[in-house]
Amino acid sequence: MKAINRIYNLYSFYIKNIFNLRVLKKIKKEFDIQNLNTTWSNLDFIIQQIPNFNQNFYIVHKNYREIEHQVGRYLSLKLAFQDIEKNKLQGDIIEFGSFQGLGLLFINHILKESKIKRQMFAIDTFEGLPESSTIWQKGQFNNTSLDKIKNNLNNYFTNKEYLNYNIIQGLFSDISVNNILKKQTKNVVFIHFDADLGSSTKDALSVVEEFIMNSNNKFIYFQFDDWGCHQDEVPDAFYLWKEQIQKKIKLDFIKLNSTNLTRLYKIIIN
């Protein structure tokens, strides 16, 4: 009987510890992933990593949400600008939702050897999201400011001879923001929509309409960040706009790339 008890005790000791080890391993993995997501949200860290960004790096890291997001959107931007440069398209760049400037710095890095003169426009209130909706909270992304983005762009911006940036502070729907933008550029070739909310994306898309109508180019490129965050936000706003604009002008939409969170369209203006 004693022997059976001993075997039983040993057995349950072994099972308990195996279980604990599994729990500990799981906790450690979650902790590591959380740490990774924090590290991969830091602008200075990400900028240092850019030289490693390629398809292989993407495939190896694609199960880590924030790495997949950053590397995926960088590779999509690169694909868009390769196509723009290959077609020798003139035109400026607008980003709706610039936060601390990372999206603009990605584009700057991609265009570091470009010899086509372009202006980049960054539009943002720098006060965070203007409202709560689905997964988003009002005020989210307010850990920035005009000084902060200027400082980041000053630190990392290169190719200043051919590229320059203009920051416009305000809501996308603000008429004075629109007037400033339309005074400074007439021809736009690439638009980065990075404002998370469907309502903000809708406002941005209505600003863009005039640039499509007056475009000097045959193509215009749209990249949506946050496409995969919630279907009721960016995708719904885009599909509704697409339906309405096609009643006014004939456009063809080519999906050039998709990542878990982003989507890139090449739009043919007929």
Ligand X SMILES: C[S@@+](CC[C@H](N)C(=O)[O-])C[C@H]1O[C@@H](n2cnc3c(N)ncnc32)[C@H](O)[C@@H]1O
Question: What residues contact residue 132 under an 8 Å CB cut-off, 6+ apart?
Answer: 138
Q: Rule CB under 6 A: is residue 152 a binding residue for ligand X? A: no
Q: Which of 98, 152, 223, 259 binds ligand X (CB under 6 A)?
A: 98
Q: Rule CB under 6 A: is residue 233 a binding residue for ligand X? A: no
- Sheet of 163-169: strand order equals 163-169, 118-124, 92-96, 188-193, 219-224, 263-269, 251-258
Q: Which is nearer to ligand X, 102 or 208 (CB)?
A: 102
x-or-dash pattern for ligand X, window 32-71, by CB under 6 A? ----------------------------------------
Q: Report d(CA 258, CA 226) in Å as an integer.
A: 11
Q: Total binding residues for ligand X by CB under 6 A?
A: 23
The least CB distance from residue 62 to ligand X, in Å, is 19
The separation between CA 270 and the C-alpha centre of its own chain, rounded to angstroms, equals: 28
Report in angstroms the alpha-carbon separations of 34 from 30, 31, 64: 6, 5, 10
x-or-dash pattern for ligand X, window 178-217, by CB under 6 A? ----------------xxxx--x--x--------------
Question: What residues contact residue 193 under an 8 Å CB cut-off, 6+ apart?
Answer: 96, 97, 201, 204, 205, 222, 223, 224, 225, 234
Q: Which of 72, 97, 198, 235 binds ligand X (CB under 6 A)?
A: 97
Q: Which is nearer to ligand X, 90 or 231 (CB)?
A: 231
CB environment 103-117: b (16+ within 10 A), e (fewer): bbbbbbbbbeebeee
Closest to 170 measured CA to CA, from 216, 121, 221, 135: 121
Q: Rule CB under 6 A: is residue 124 a binding residue for ligand X? A: yes
The least CB distance from residue 250 to ligand X, in Å, is 29
Please give the residue whose beta carbon sits closest to ligand X in the complex.
97
Q: Which is nearer to ligand X, 198 or 215 (CB)?
A: 198
The least CB distance from residue 103 to ligand X, in Å, is 3
Q: Which is nearer to ligand X, 125 or 215 (CB)?
A: 125
Q: CA geometry: angle at 266 spanning 264 and 270, to 5°?
A: 155
Q: Which is nearer to ligand X, 220 or 233 (CB)?
A: 233
Q: Do 233 and 136 meet the contact criterion of CB atoms below 8 Å apart? A: yes
What's the token pair of residue 97? 């939702």
Q: Rule CB under 6 A: is residue 125 a binding residue for ligand X? A: yes
The least CB distance from residue 156 to ligand X, in Å, is 13
Residues forming contacts to ligand X in the complex (CB under 6 A) are 95, 97-100, 102-103, 124-125, 127-130, 141, 144, 171-172, 194-197, 200, 203
